[in-house]
Structures are given as C-alpha cells and as structure tokens.
C-alpha cells in the first residue's frame, strides 16, 4: 500500500517529536509518503498566515494528517488554529484514548479508556456571547443538535464495535441542563438500542469525575458533549501519567487529523528532551484509521516495551535519562526485537 499523508511539523518541540515519529513510522515500513505543510508560527513567518489556504487544500487532498503542536500567538486577534481546523473540516469526533504504560509514575496501572468528545458544538460555539453594558451579566449560548449528538454517539458505538470494546457510557448533566444535555442523552439512549451487543450506561458528569478517580476500571468507551469531554479527557490523561502520553484524534466524515494532546512546550523546545510518546501514539491511531491495524498494534507494543525497559533511552519527563532521538531509537529497536 502507498498512501501520502499531510504532515504539519508544528511549533516549539513539534519538529523534534515529528522527526522522531516519522523515523519510527519509516522503520515500520508502512508505505507512507509525507507531504510537509506549514501551519502555526512557521507559516506566519513564511506566508503571513497561521493557516495558509495551501495547507488546508493539501490536507483536504490527502484526507489524513499528522500534526505537531501549534502555537497560537496570544493577543493580535488570532483564532486558535486547532479550533479553525476542526471547524473547516467539520472534525466532529475528538477521540482521546488513554492506556496505562508500565513503568510510568501514575495512580493506576490498568487503565484503558477511550473518550469520544463531540468537537463542534455544545458550549464551544462561541455564538451568542455578550456582556451587558454595566459589565454585570455575561451570556453565552450552548447549542446541541440532534444531528450532532446522533453522529457522535453513533461514532462511539461504531468505534466500540470495531475495536471489540464492550461498554459505552454516555456522560451528561441532563438532570439540570434539561434541554441541551437532555437532548444528547435522549439521542444516546435511542442509538444504544441499535447496538444490543454493546453494554450501555449513563452517568452524570460530576459523579463520572469521582468514579474516574476512585474506580476508573469500570469505564471502557465514554461519549459526551464538548465541554465535559474536554475536561474528563484531561482527567483520564492524568490517570495514566499526564498529557505526555495522550494522543488526540480529530475525525470528520472526510478528513482526519491525528495529534498529541500537549502543546508546543516552548520551555523545552530545542533541548532535544521532548517526549515523542503522545505523537507516536497518535501515529498508531492514524495507522488504525488507514486499516494498518497490525502495524498500529506493533507500534503500541514497541512503545510500551521501550517505556517499561529502556530507562536510559526514554525522556526525563518519564523518569528516563535519554533524549527525543534516543527514545525513537529505543522504539525502533523494540519494533525489530
């Protein structure tokens, strides 16, 4: 198979972890070609635009992109590039898997949860926002639609079916937010009936947070609206040792963009010590998306083994004494071994 993907190296540590990740992908021999495109500060400097049209066109052409973290300048009226990408390509499903890694410092060792977050509506619309003239009252619109709820819940069930997962939990606050969260829950219950082979339960967001901290093993696939998903997916990342181990997949009907959840880490950029793990795991999800499931599984296993056993080669944030490059070397060696 030969497939070209768009590659956005990104800002800060982005190019360092992208180089490491592409080296590992090459070692896996997946037949991927790379079309490098600019976005973020690099694009602003080169083209005067954080997200040039040529970049959007090339992502649309290849339909799949691997993306490094991007810096959105504070002030100057710039809209978040990530939000713009989600809107432009209608990337409605934000899929954030977390999996315990042996040998990492975390509260639990047996976590395997996929959060499926609605990515395009809910409290993130930025519509209907106003502050009264006296500055005393702020308003903001929350809009959930049947279409939006339906496609995200269906996505979660289909993902559960494809990956052999056994349960989907719909997380909501329909007891208080009776309209917006109520519609989401109503739709979730309807769609769950179409998947009798997959267990379904519903849980209120506040209880979910407590349950995630105290008894996270009960969760398998979580599906929820935008704001709740934003918060609990970070909570889940915390359960397995933090954002350095968390990939994020942004999936639409046409285009899918795979990335690390963390940012461009300007404090360590250029030092060669950035952890490439989250982007490597995002690359594994990309391989799954391209139906290269065997390679995705091999890659995840090699990462896990390297993290567990190659302490001298993995990066300091995971308690190792290595560099971004030596981390990639360790994963490549584990692929071969």
Ligand X SMILES: NC(=O)c1ccc[n+]([C@@H]2O[C@H](COP(=O)([O-])OP(=O)(O)OC[C@H]3O[C@@H](n4cnc5c(N)ncnc54)[C@H](O)[C@@H]3O)[C@@H](O)[C@H]2O)c1
Tell me which residues are annotated as active site: 124, 173, 206, 230
- Nearest distance from residue 232's CB to ligand X, in Å? 17
Q: Can you read off the two tokens belonging to residue 269?
A: 């950029």
Q: Which is nearer to ligand X, 32 or 273 (CB)?
A: 273
Q: Which is nearer to ligand X, 7 or 268 (CB)?
A: 268
Instruction: Look at residues 258, 278, 224 and name the one whose alpha carbon lies nearest to residue 82.
Output: 258
CA-atom Rg of the chain in angstroms: 20
- Nearest distance from residue 282's CB to ligand X, in Å? 10
Axis crossing angle, helix 205-214 with helix 226-239, rounded to the nearest 10: 10
H or E segment and range at residue 65: strand 64-67
Which residues would be at the binding site for ligand X (CB under 6 A)? Answer: 13, 17, 69-72, 82, 243-244, 259, 262-268, 274-275, 317
- Nearest distance from residue 123's CB to ligand X, in Å? 18
Q: Can you read off the two tokens belonging to residue 219?
A: 């969760």
Residue whose CB is nearest to ligand X in the complex, by number: 263
Q: Which is nearer to ligand X, 69 or 185 (CB)?
A: 69
Instruction: Look at residues 260, 274, 283, 335 and name the one whose alpha carbon lies nearest to residue 304.
Output: 335
What is the distance of C-alpha 230 from the center of its chain?
10
Q: Give the C-alpha separation, 104 to 195, whole Å.
A: 36
- In sequence order, the 6+-apart residues with CB closer than 8 A to the CB of 36 are 7, 8, 9
- Nearest distance from residue 263's CB to ligand X, in Å? 2
């Amino acid at each position: 198979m030969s497939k070209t993907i768009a590659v956005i190296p990104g800002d800060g540590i982005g190019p360092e972890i992208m180089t490491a990740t592409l080296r590992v992908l090459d070692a896996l021999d997946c037949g991927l070609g790379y079309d490098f495109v600019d976005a973020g500060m690099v694009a602003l400097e080169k083209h005067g635009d954080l997200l040039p049209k040529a970049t959007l066109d090339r992502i649309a052409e290849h339909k799949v992109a691997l993306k490094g973290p991007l810096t959105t300048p504070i002030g100057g009226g710039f809209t978040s590039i990530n939000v713009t990408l989600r809107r432009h390509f209608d990337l409605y499903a934000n899929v954030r898997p977390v999996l315990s890694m042996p040998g990492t410092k975390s509260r639990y060792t047996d976590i395997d949860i996929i959060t499926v977050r609605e990515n395009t509506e809910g409290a993130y619309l930025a519509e209907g926002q106003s502050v009264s003239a006296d500055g005393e009252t702020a308003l903001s619109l929350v809009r959930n639609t049947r279409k939006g709820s339906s496609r995200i819940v269906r996505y979660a069930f289909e993902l559960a079916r494809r990956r052999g997962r056994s349960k989907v939990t719909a997380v909501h606050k329909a007891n208080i937010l009776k309209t917006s969260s109520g519609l989401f829950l109503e739709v979730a219950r309807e769609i769950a009936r179409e998947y009798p082979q997959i267990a379904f339960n519903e849980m209120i967001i506040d209880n979910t947070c407590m349950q995630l901290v105290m008894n996270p093993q009960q969760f398998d696939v979580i599906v929820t609206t935008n704001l709740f998903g934003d918060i609990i997916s970070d909570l889940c990342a915390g359960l397995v040792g933090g954002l350095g181990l968390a990939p994020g997949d942004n999936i639409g009907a046409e285009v899918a963009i795979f990335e690390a959840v963390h940012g461009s880490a300007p404090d360590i950029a250029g030092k060669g010590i950035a952890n490439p793990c989250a982007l490597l795991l995002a690359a594994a999800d990309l391989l799954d998306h391209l139906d290269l499931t065997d390679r995705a599984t091999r890659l995840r296993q090699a990462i896990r083994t390297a993290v567990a056993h190659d302490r001298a080669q993995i990066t300091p944030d995971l308690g190792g004494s290595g560099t971004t490059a030596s981390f990639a070397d360790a994963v490549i060696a584990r692929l071969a071994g």
